[in-house]
C-alpha cells in the first residue's frame, strides 16, 4: 500500500528519495512521484508503473529537500494526474497515505473558495487546506496543524512548501510514519526499510503527532500541539535483510529463510528447559490466570495461522477458541467476554482492519490483549498488553511466507504456555514438545530439499485455470493457505475445502482439467482423507498428494505423490506449508507473473 519518503540534506536528495521508494515497492503500488524544492519552486515528477520509470524521468531533477510517494489507488484510477505529491497553487506539496473520509465536503468548500482540483484523489484537499491556512500568514507547521483538525479519516503525510527551503513537515494518524535521524540531515518514511541506506536511528511518531523536520534538528508535537519527546530506536534491520542477494525473488528468498526465521522466533524457549508465561510480557501470568477463552482476530494469511491455532488451543490447552476475520468482527454485533484473551495476529502490525477489530474488542469490555507480530514498533504491538514477536526479519514479498510459519511457531508456544498454566501439560510432554520445537528448523530445512521436484511439477499447472486444495483437521487451514498463495501470485482460481465436504458441493467441479492438491499428513484422519481422494479419482480428477512417509499412498495414473518426511505431529502444519509455498512460487514463474508484487495487491493494508 502507499509509501512515503521525505528528506532534507546538504546533498541532492533525489537519489535518497528514489532508493527509499524502491525499498517500499514491496508494499504494493501502481504509480509514483516526487517533488523537490529548487530555487524557490516546486519541481515535480510523476509516473505510472514502476519506480524505475520515475527514476528515468527524474535524472535531471535536483534539490536539497523533497518528498516522494508510491500510490496504491483508492480514490481515482492509477494515472499520472492522480499520483502524489499533490500541489496547491505552486506553493504547497503533499504526499499522503490513508483515506480522508470527508474529502467530498472539503472539496466542495475549497472549490467554492476558488481552489482548482487537478486530480480525483482525496489527498488534494489536504494540499489546498494547508495552503488556505498558509496563505493567511500561518507558519507551515501551524497551517498543517490547522488543516489536520478538519480531516476525518486516516493519514500519514509529508508536506513541503516552495518558499520554505529549510523545513519539511510530517504527521500521522492511523497510518505509520517515522523520522530518520542523520548527521545534519533528516528523513521520514512510512517504513524503516526505506531509510536504512541513510540512517538506522529511527523515531516512531505516535497517533496524532505532527513533526517539524530541519537539517540539524526535528521537533515533535502531539495531537494537543504540545512539544513532546519520542524515543529514538536503533533499527536492527540490516541492508542485507532487505536485499535480494542470490535469489530471483524475495518470495523465494523468504521461503528459504524459514529455518532461520523459525530458529530465531523460538530462540528464547529452545535454549531453556521449561516454558514460562513471561515470554509474552510481564503481565502474562496474571492475565492468563484470568482467562476462560481465546478470541483470535486477523486478516489474510495471518487469519489462517489463527485457524490452525484453534485446533491446538482446544486440543492441547483445553481452552475454547474463536477465530474471526478482523474486517467482519469489527462490524459484527457480538457478545463480549471480559475473560477472553484477545489475540491479534499480523505480520506488519499496521493492518487497519486488525487494529480496528482490536479497538472494537477492547470497547466491548475485553481488556486482555495479546499481539503476535513481526514488527516490534508497530501500532498493534503498542496497542496490546502482551506480545510475542515473531523474528522472521523483514518480509518483502507481498505473499506472506516466513511470517506465516513463524506465527504458527509463536501460536504453538502460546498453546503450550496456556496448557501448562491450566495443568494440562506434564513435565514429560513439555520436554517432548520442546525437543520437537528445537528440531523444527532442521525439519523445515529438509522439506526445502524437495524444491526441484516441485519446480518440475509446476510445469503441469501453467495452463490450468482452477485448482482445488483439500485438507482435514489441523491441515484444512494449510489447504486454505495453499489456495490463497496460488491465487495471489499465479492468478489461478483456487479454492480450499475440508476434504470431508467434497461431496457437499465441490465434487461437482472435479474433472480431468481440475488439479486437486491434497495435504496428506500421517495422522488419525489419513484413512478418511484417502477415501475422499478416491472420490476425486473416480471422477477423473488429477491428484497431487503431499504425503508424509509411511502413508502407503503411491504414485499411479492420475495420482502424483510428493513425498514429505516423517509425520511431525502437532508441528506438521508448519512443514506442510512449505511445499505449497514452493508450488505457488514455481507456478507463478511458469506463468510469468510479477511474483513479489502481484497485481492489485498490497503488502501492508493500512486502509480499510
* Site residues for ligand G6P per CB under 6 A: 299-302, 346-348, 351, 354, 398-400, 601, 603, 605
- Nearest CB to ligand G6P, comparing residues 144 and 584: 584
**Measured from the CB of residue 373, what is the shortest distance to ligand G6P in angstroms?**
8
- Nearest CB to ligand G6P, comparing residues 436 and 495: 495
- Nearest CB to ligand G6P, comparing residues 63 and 300: 300
**Measured from the CB of residue 299, what is the shortest distance to ligand G6P in angstroms?**
4
What is the largest distance, in Å, between two alpha-carbon atoms of the chain? 80
Q: In terms of DSSP H, where are the helices of 491-557?
A: 526-538
**Measured from the CB of residue 374, what is the shortest distance to ligand G6P in angstroms?**
8
- Nearest CB to ligand G6P, comparing residues 22 and 351: 351
Interaxial angle between packed helices 427-448 and 258-270, expressed in degrees from 0 to 180 and rounded to the nearest 10 = 160
**Measured from the CB of residue 380, what is the shortest distance to ligand G6P in angstroms?**
8
**Measured from the CB of residue 500, what is the shortest distance to ligand G6P in angstroms?**
26
Rounded Cα–Cα distance for residues 425 and 137 (Å): 68
- Nearest CB to ligand G6P, comparing residues 337 and 374: 374
Catalytic residue among 2, 170, 299, 373: 2
Rounded Cα–Cα distance for residues 1 and 18 (Å): 17
Tell me the CA end-to-end span of the chain in Å, nearest whole number: 11
Q: What are the DSSP calls for 547-581, one per residue?
A: E-TTS----BTTEEEEE--S--GGGHHHHHHHHHH
**Measured from the CB of residue 327, what is the shortest distance to ligand G6P in angstroms?**
10
DSSP three-state, residue 500: helix
The residues, ordered by sequence, that sit 6+ positions from 50 with a Cβ below 8 Å of its Cβ are: 25, 32
**Measured from the CB of residue 300, what is the shortest distance to ligand G6P in angstroms?**
3
Question: Is-catalytic flag, 321?
Answer: no
Question: Is-catalytic flag, 2?
Answer: yes
The residue behind cell 513541503 is 160
- Nearest CB to ligand G6P, comparing residues 249 and 472: 249
The residues, ordered by sequence, that sit 6+ positions from 410 with a Cβ below 8 Å of its Cβ are: 265, 372, 388, 390
- Nearest CB to ligand G6P, comparing residues 325 and 462: 325
Interaxial angle between packed helices 103-112 and 124-134, expressed in degrees from 0 to 180 and rounded to the nearest 10 = 50
**Measured from the CB of residue 485, what is the shortest distance to ligand G6P in angstroms?**
9
Task: Find out whether 208 and 173 touch, Cβ atoms under 8 Å.
Answer: yes
CA separation, residue 1 to residues 254, 384, 452 (Å): 20, 24, 33
Rounded Cα–Cα distance for residues 466 and 514 (Å): 6
Rounded Cα–Cα distance for residues 361 and 235 (Å): 31
Q: What are the DSSP calls for 143-191, one per residue?
A: HHHHHHHT--B-EEEEEEETT-TT-EEEEEEBS--EEEE-SS-EEEESS
Catalytic residue among 173, 253, 485, 603: 603
Instruction: Tell me the three cell numbers of residue 235.
Output: 533499527
CA angle, residues 41, 43, 48, in degrees to nearest 5: 160
- Nearest CB to ligand G6P, comparing residues 346 and 406: 346
| Nearest residue relative to ligand G6P (C-beta) | 300
Active-site amino acid positions: 2, 603
Amino acid at each position: 500500500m502507499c509509501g512515503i519518503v521525505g528528506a532534507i540534506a546538504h546533498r541532492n536528495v533525489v537519489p535518497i528519495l528514489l532508493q527509499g521508494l524502491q525499498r517500499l515497492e514491496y508494499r504494493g503500488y501502481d504509480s509514483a512521484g516526487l517533488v523537490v524544492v529548487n530555487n524557490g519552486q516546486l519541481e515535480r515528477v510523476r509516473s505510472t508503473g514502476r519506480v524505475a520509470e520515475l527514476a528515468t524521468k527524474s535524472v535531471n531533477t535536483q534539490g536539497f529537500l523533497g518528498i516522494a510517494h508510491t500510490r496504491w489507488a483508492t480514490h481515482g484510477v492509477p494515472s499520472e494526474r492522480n499520483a502524489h505529491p499533490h500541489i496547491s497553487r505552486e506553493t504547497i506539496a503533499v504526499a499522503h497515505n490513508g483515506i480522508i473520509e470527508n474529502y467530498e465536503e472539503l472539496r466542495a468548500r475549497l472549490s467554492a473558495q476558488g481552489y482548482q482540483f487537478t486530480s480525483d484523489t482525496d489527498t488534494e484537499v489536504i494540499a489546498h487546506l494547508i495552503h488556505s491556512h498558509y496563505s493567511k500568514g500561518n507558519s507551515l507547521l501551524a497551517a498543517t496543524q490547522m488543516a489536520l483538525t478538519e480531516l476525518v479519516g486516516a493519514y500519514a503525510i509529508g508536506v513541503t512548501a516552495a518558499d520554505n527551503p529549510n523545513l519539511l513537515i510530517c504527521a500521522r494518524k492511523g497510518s505509520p510514519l517515522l523520522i530518520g535521524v542523520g548527521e545534519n540531515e533528516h528523513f521520514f518514511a512510512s517504513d524503516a526499510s526505506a531509510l536504512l541506506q541513510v540512517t538506522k536511528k529511527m523515531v516512531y511518531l505516535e497517533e496524532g503527532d505532527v513533526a517539524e523536520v530541519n537539517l540539524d534538528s526535528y521537533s515533535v508535537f502531539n495531537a494537543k500541539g504540545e512539544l513532546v519527546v519520542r524515543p529514538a530506536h536503533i533499527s536492527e534491520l540490516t541492508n542485507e535483510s532487505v536485499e535480494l542477494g542470490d535469489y530471483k525473488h524475495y518470495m523465494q528468498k523468504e521461503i528459504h529463510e524459514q529455518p532461520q526465521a523459525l530458529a530465531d522466533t523460538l530462540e528464547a524457549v529452545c535454549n531453556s528447559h521449561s516454558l514460562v508465561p513471561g515470554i509474552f510480557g510481564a503481565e502474562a501470568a496474571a492475565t492468563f490466570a484470568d482467562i476462560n477463552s481465546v478470541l483470535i482476530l486477523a486478516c489474510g494469511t495471518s487469519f489462517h495461522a489463527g485457524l490452525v491455532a484453534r485446533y491446538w488451543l482446544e486440543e492441547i490447552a483445553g481452552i475454547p477458541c474463536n477465530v474471526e476475520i478482523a474486517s467482519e468482527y469489527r462490524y459484527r454485533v457480538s457478545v463480549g467476554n471480559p475473560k477472553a484473551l484477545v489475540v491479534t495476529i499480523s505480520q506488519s502490525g499496521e493492518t487497519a482492519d486488525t487494529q480496528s477489530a482490536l479497538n472494537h474488542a477492547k470497547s466491548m469490555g475485553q481488556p486482555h490483549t495479546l499481539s503476535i507480530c513481526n514488527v516490534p514498533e508497530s501500532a498493534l504491538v503498542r496497542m496490546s498488553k502482551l506480545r510475542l514477536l515473531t523474528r522472521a526479519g523483514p518480509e518483502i514479498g507481498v505473499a506472506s511466507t516466513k511470517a506465516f510459519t513463524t506465527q504458527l511457531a509463536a501460536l504453538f508456544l502460546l498453546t503450550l504456555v496456556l496448557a501448562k498454566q491450566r495443568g494440562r501439560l506434564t513435565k514429560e510432554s513439555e520436554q517432548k514438545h520442546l525437543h520437537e520445537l528445537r528440531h523444527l528448523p532442521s525439519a523445515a530445512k529438509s522439506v526445502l530439499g524437495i524444491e526441484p521436484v516441485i519446480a518440475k511439477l509446476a510445469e503441469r499447472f501453467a495452463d490450468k485455470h482452477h485448482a482445488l486444495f483439500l485438507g482435514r483437521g489441523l491441515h484444512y487451514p494449510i489447504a486454505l493457505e495453499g489456495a490463497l498463495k496460488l491465487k495471489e501470485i499465479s492468478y489461478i482460481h483456487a479454492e480450499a475445502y475440508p476434504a470431508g465436504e467434497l461431496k457437499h458441493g465441490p465434487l461437482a467441479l472435479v474433472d480431468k482439467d481440475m488439479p486437486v492438491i491434497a495435504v496428506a499428513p500421517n495422522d488419525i484422519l489419513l484413512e478418511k482423507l484417502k477415501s475422499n481422494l478416491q472420490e476425486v479419482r473416480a471422477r477423473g480428477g488429477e491428484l497431487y498428494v503431499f504425503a508424509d512417509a509411511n502413508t502407503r499412498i503411491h504414485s499411479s495414473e492420475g495420482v502424483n505423490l510428493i513425498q514429505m518426511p516423517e509425520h511431525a505431529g502437532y508441528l506438521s502444519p508448519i512443514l506442510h506449508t512449505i511445499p505449497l509455498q514452493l508450488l505457488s512460487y514455481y507456478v507463478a514463474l511458469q506463468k510469468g507473473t510479477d511474483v513479489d508484487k502481484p497485481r492489485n495487491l498490497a503488502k501492508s493494508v493500512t486502509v480499510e
